[in-house]
């Protein structure tokens, strides 16, 4: 018993002695581990910083090599969001565009109606290609493929951005008249085709070589410029197409004889409302009938848009006057005027709450393409009534359906007046 007790005491003493040595060693090891841990933490911090740097660089590379999505809140003055992409793109190169297709079926009533077949048209496919040399020098272009077999350049210009109050635009550009001529993408107007008034009196899409300056304040936007003038010597510049056929466009076979001055002012100081006025004046071309004085073309339009939640209203009135019309053709129109009202309301929220839209719309047009002519005659007043709907499965895609009734008096011969009805369906998109 005494031997066992002695052995135990001895073992405990030895253990106590060994534990003290081990503790000393452990302290040394712990200090070494602490120093190593500090080194590892420093390395981890440095690695994390490097990782963040590489991540940011990767994001920048992705931004520079990917295409910019449309931002509805970043439309540049006088341009749609799709046409504006190059201005806010992080990539120097920007590609956007729009397209529209439609099918129409004619019905007729009354006398002298003739006949028209139903038809479809791959109407337009339009790429926007832009390049930002820097934040102050920006190239933009609009290339039109129409009816599947016609190619034209509708815009090709360079903007020199000096200040929000003044940007200089030089090159082939849209003439800043009306509404649809500037905002002509199919998601921005609800009829299948553009209003008659903004095809015939304001000849959308109206684009000419020119130099302009535009800018804006908190409440106002303005554009003023000089552009190739309408040419009444152009082939076909008479009859109901007298303004539309007078556009010079991409090329003039006889040269650009005259320049016109165009000015536009819009007020945006009330939320949801825009009201504005545009004006055009310029010589109409070289007189081609000996002894007659060269004419001058003058145009003006008043336009307004109001939007509040699902409701939207758009109205426009325009008139044109050509002096010395007999210098170009004995049957040349001298004056034209017209106006339209377009109302729409999004009814989809009554049935389902989502990001899609289903506006129902009504449009009324009243116009006369020749209230006076050089030979003393005139056209009658034409009216159109259009009822339809648009379905937006996405903000950038629209499916359209409508019925249009036109009381067509676009002639100086009353016996040739007729009514026509047109059912149309369309598909439009922007990107």
Write the pLDDT tens digit of every residue in 291-300.
678 899 999 9
3-state DSSP call for residue 105?
Answer: strand
User: pLDDT value at position 12?
Assistant: 47
- 27 burial via Cβ count (<10 Å: 0-12, 13-18, 19+): exposed
Domain of residue 108: give its range: 83-430
The pLDDT value recorded for residue 8 is 46
Flag whether 239 is in a domain: yes
pLDDT at 384: 98
Q: Choose the weakest-confidence range: 11-15, 81-85, 191-195, 263-267.
A: 11-15
Q: Residue 126's CB: how many other CB atoms inside 10 A?
A: 23
Tell me how many degrees the CA angle 242-373-258 measures, rounded to the nearest 5.
45
User: Is residue 25 a part of any domain in this protein?
Assistant: no
Indicate the pLDDT class of residue 330, thresholds 50, 70 and 90. confident
Report CA-CA distances (Å) from 269 to 218, 222, 264, 358, 390.
Answer: 7, 14, 16, 28, 29
Across residues 327-350, what is the average pLDDT? Answer: 95
Between residues 236 and 196, the one the model is more confident about: 196
Please indicate, yes or no, if residue 74 is contained in any of the structural domains: no
| pLDDT at residue 57, as a whole number | 57
Let me know if residue 259 belongs to a domain.
Answer: yes
pLDDT over 90, % of the chain: 68
Per-residue pLDDT band at 234 (split at 50, 70, 90) = confident
Residue 1 has pLDDT above 60, yes or no: no
Residue 190 has a pLDDT of: 96
pLDDT for 294 equals: 85
Residue 367 maps to which CATH number?
2.40.160.10
**Tens digits of residue pLDDT in 104-155:** 998 875 544 555 778 899 999 999 999 999 999 999 999 999 998 889 999 9
Average pLDDT over residues 375-400: 97
| 3 state SS for 318-350 | EEEEECCHHHCCCCCEEEEEEEEEEEEEECHHH
Per-residue model confidence (pLDDT) at position 32: 76
Position 175 in a domain: yes
**Assigned domain for 159 exists:** yes
Q: How far is CA 342 from the centre of its chain?
A: 19
Rounded to two decimals, the pTM is 0.82
**Is 294 or 363 the better-scoring residue by pLDDT?**
363
Percent of the chain clearing pLDDT 70 (strictly above): 86
Paired with 210 in beta bridges are 171, 227
Residue 9, pLDDT score:
46
Query: Could you identify the residue written with the tokens 């729009």?
Result: 98
Closest CA to 362 of 374, 375, 345, 380: 345
Q: What pLDDT shows up at residue 263?
A: 98
Candidates 120, 176, 175, 128; CA nearest to 148 is: 120
Q: How many CB atoms lie within 10 A of CB 205?
A: 23
* 247 found inside a domain: yes
- Domain count for the chain, please give it: 1
Query: Which token pair is 376?
Result: 């003393």
Token pair for 241: 């197409």
Whether residue 376 lies inside any domain: the answer is yes
What does pLDDT average to over the chain? 88
In this predicted model, which residue has the larger pLDDT, 207 or 148? Answer: 207
């Amino acid at each position: 018993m005494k031997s066992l007790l002695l052995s135990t005491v001895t073992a405990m003493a030895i253990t106590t002695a060994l534990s003290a040595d081990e503790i000393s060693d452990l302290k040394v090891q712990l200090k070494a581990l602490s120093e190593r841990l500090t080194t590892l933490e420093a390395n981890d911090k440095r690695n994390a910083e490097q990782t963040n740097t590489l991540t940011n660089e990767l994001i920048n590379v992705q931004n520079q090599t990917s295409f910019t999505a449309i931002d509805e809140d970043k439309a540049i003055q006088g341009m749609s969001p799709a046409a504006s992409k190059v201005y806010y793109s992080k990539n120097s190169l920007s590609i956007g565009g729009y397209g529209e297709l439609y099918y129409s079926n004619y019905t007729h009533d009354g006398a002298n109606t003739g006949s028209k077949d139903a038809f479809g048209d791959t109407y337009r496919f339009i790429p926007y290609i832009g390049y930002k040399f820097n934040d102050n020098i920006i190239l933009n272009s609009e290339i039109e493929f129409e009816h599947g077999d016609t190619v034209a350049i509708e815009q090709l210009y360079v903007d020199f951005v000096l200040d929000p109050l003044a940007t200089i635009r030089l090159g082939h550009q849209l003439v800043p008249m009306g509404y649809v001529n500037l905002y002509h993408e199919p998601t921005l107007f609800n009829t299948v085709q553009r209003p008659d008034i903004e095809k015939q009196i304001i000849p959308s899409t109206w684009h000419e070589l020119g130099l302009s300056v535009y800018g804006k304040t908190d409440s106002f936007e303005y554009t003023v410029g000089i552009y190739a003038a309408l040419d009444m010597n152009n082939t076909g510049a008479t009859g109901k197409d007298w303004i539309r056929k007078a556009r010079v466009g991409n090329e003039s076979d006889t040269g650009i004889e005259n320049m016109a001055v165009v000015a536009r002012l819009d007020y945006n100081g009330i939320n949801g409302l825009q009201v504005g006025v545009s004006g055009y004046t310029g010589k109409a071309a070289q007189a081609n009938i000996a002894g007659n004085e060269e004419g001058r073309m003058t145009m003006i339009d008043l336009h307004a848009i109001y939007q509040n939640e699902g409701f939207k209203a758009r109205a426009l009135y325009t008139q044109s006057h050509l002096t010395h019309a007999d210098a170009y053709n004995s049957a040349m129109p001298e004056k034209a005027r017209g106006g339209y009202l377009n109302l729409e309301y999004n009814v989809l929220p009554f049935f389902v709450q989502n990001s899609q839209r289903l506006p129902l719309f009504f449009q009324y047009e009243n116009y006369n393409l020749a209230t006076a002519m050089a030979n003393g005659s005139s056209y009658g007043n034409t009216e159109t009534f259009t009822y339809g709907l648009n379905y937006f499965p996405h903000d950038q895609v629209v499916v359209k359906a409508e019925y249009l009734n036109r009381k067509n008096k676009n002639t100086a011969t009353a016996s040739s007046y007729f009514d026509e009805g047109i059912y149309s369906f369309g598909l439009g998109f922007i990107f």
